[in-house]
Amino acid sequence: MKKGFLIGSSLIACATLAVTLLAYDRLPARIPTHWNLDGAADGFGPRSMLFAFSAMMAAIAALWAVLPSISPRRYEVDSFGATWWKSGLFVVALVGYMQMMLLWALLGGQVLLARAMLGGVALLVVLLGNLLGKVRSNFWLGVRTPWTLASERVWYATHRLAGKTLVAGGLAALALLLAGLPVRYAHIAILAGALAPAAWSLVYYKRLERDGRLGT
């Protein structure tokens, strides 16, 4: 799976870089680099900033490949290796998708850029939510709060919930974007899906602690 991840990540990064290089001379000198919660561009930079996406993909791929080798004992990713590599490929693919969406918009494509990019994030959230149930306790991926890391039982319960809330939040965000509602509502849906299980991990931990069931 690691080999497949590295090959897939390299293909995505090289393909998007090649397209960017081919189109570079036709791009405006300044491009949007940041959008506010309403989806309006509020930050701009030179067109060379497009290459930051390529650098980001390379950095993510390198980091994803290295992190398993430095995981502390008892927190290795080997027990869910296939899920680890698949998640990393999804993240790299999202960055590549965002690069292509920005390039398309800059070349005159009819695309609502902020919505398209946030839609990609929402889809990633849904995909990761479907994988969370397979993620075991580790320091790199999942809902890593003090309470999930302190208790295997809290970890499992939290990630069962997180799988549902992330999928629900991501799907809700996609529906809101497709319905043409303000972009900030989609942001709220994604954040709610991500933060709810983190808060639940504290509540559940304290409940087990109060009942004397943390070690069971």
Tell me the torsion sign for CA atoms 113, 116, 120, 122.
positive
Over residues 15-28, mean pLDDT? 93
For the cut 60, the answer to whether the pLDDT of residue 216 exceeds it is: no
Over residues 2-22, mean pLDDT? 94
pLDDT 10s digits, 158-184:
999 999 999 999 999 999 999 999 999
For the cut 90, the answer to whether the pLDDT of residue 212 exceeds it is: no
Q: Cα–Cα distance between 95 and 117 in angstroms, integer? A: 9
How many residues comprise the chain?
Answer: 216
Q: Cα–Cα distance between 64 and 81 in angstroms, integer? A: 11
Over residues 114-119, mean pLDDT? 92
pLDDT (0 to 100) of residue 174: 96
DSSP-derived letter for residue 141 is S
For the cut 70, the answer to whether the pLDDT of residue 130 exceeds it is: yes
Largest CA distance in the chain: 66
Of 187, 161, 85, 171, which Cα lies nearest the Cα of 124?
Answer: 171
Percent over 70 (pLDDT), the chain? 99
pLDDT 10s digits, 96-114:
999 999 999 998 877 888 8
CA angle 189, 120, 137 (to 5 degrees): 70
Q: Which two tokens stand for residue 189?
A: 């849906």
The mean of the pLDDT values for the chain is 91
